Amino acid sequence: MATITARFCGRCGAALAPGAGFCGRCGTPVVMQAAVAPQPVYRYAPAPPMAYPPGTQGRLPPALIAGGLVLVLIVVAVVVGGIAIAQFAGGKLAPCTVNCAPKIVTPLPEEASYRSSAFNFQVNYSSAWTVRDQDASSVTLGTHVGSVQVVGARGGTPDQAAQAVISSLPSAKWQDVTLVSALKGAHIGDQDGIGAVYSANLIGASQTATKVRFAVIAASRNGVIVVIFAVDPADPKNSPNGIPEGQAFDYLCTEFSWT
C-alpha cells in the first residue's frame, strides 16, 4: 500500500488535499508554492583548525643577560679611568697656597706634651721638636725649620690678643710685616677661633734678612685665651699659605686640649 505524504501550503501552512491545485484556505496555486518553497539549507562542516608551528623566539638565558651587564660595566670603568688618567697625566697639579681646604694629616710621630700649670691646657707636639723655653703659662718649641709658641692669658678677646702679639713684635727684628690672608676655619682644639697669615722680613744675628710667613691663631674658653704664633721660612709657591710646616702646625692646633 502506498504511503500518502501530507502536503501543506507553502504560504499559509494549511494542509492541502490530495491532488489539489490550489490551497483551500488562501487560494495559492500549488505550482507557485513549489516555486517559493523554502530551499534546503546546506550546512558545511567547520574547517579544521590550523596547526601553527611553535614560536621560535624565546627569552634570553639569564647567564647571557648577566654577562652583557658585566661587559657594559667593564666598558664604563675603562672609559672613566681613561678620562681620569688623561686629566692627571698631563702634569703635576699646582699646590694650593691660599685658603686651602683641610687635608688628611699624618699624625706626628712619638708625641711629647706640655701642660700649663697656670691654665691647665695641654699641648701635644712632635718629640723631634725641641723646647726652647717654657713656664707656667707658655711654651716655645723649635721645629724642623721654624718655631711655634703657645701662650695662655686671661681677659680680653681673641681679636685683642692676636693684635697684641702683632704689635709687640720688635720692629728691629720683624720688618715689613704685611697681612697675607685670614685663616678660614681657625681653631684651637675643639674651640673655634680667629687667625691670619702674615709675611715679614726677619733680621737674623748676622743682620741678614729672611723672608718668613707666620700665622697667629687665638681662641678663648671659660675666660682663658690661648694664642699660637707659628713661623717658617716663606715658601709661597709650594706650601699652603706659604708656610712649609703648615700641616704640622694645624695638627698641633687639632691635638690641643683645653683641660
pTM for this one? Answer: 0.59
Asked whether the predicted pLDDT for residue 178 surpasses 90, the reply is: yes
Handedness of CA 203, 204, 210, 212 (dihedral sign): negative
SS (H, E, C) 145-177: CCEEEEEEEECCCHHHHHHHHHHCCCCCCEEEE
Residue % of the chain over a pLDDT of 90: 52
Return the pLDDT at 35.
47
Which has the minimum average pLDDT: 2-16, 116-130, 151-165?
2-16
What is the spatial distance between Cα 252 and Cα 111, in angstroms, rounded to a whole number?
Answer: 10
Residue type, 258: W
Residue 20 banded pLDDT, cuts 50, 70, 90: confident
All structural domains of the chain with their residue ranges: 7-36, 111-255
What is the spatial distance between Cα 131 and Cα 120, in angstroms, rounded to a whole number?
Answer: 18
Segment 44-81, tens digit of pLDDT: 566 666 665 555 555 667 777 777 777 888 887 877 77
What is the spatial distance between Cα 47 and Cα 24, in angstroms, rounded to a whole number?
Answer: 46
CB 214 within 8 A of CB 229: yes
What is the spatial distance between Cα 200 and Cα 81, in angstroms, rounded to a whole number?
Answer: 45
Record: fold of 111-255: Protein Transport Mog1p; Chain A (3.40.1000)
Residue 245 banded pLDDT, cuts 50, 70, 90: very high
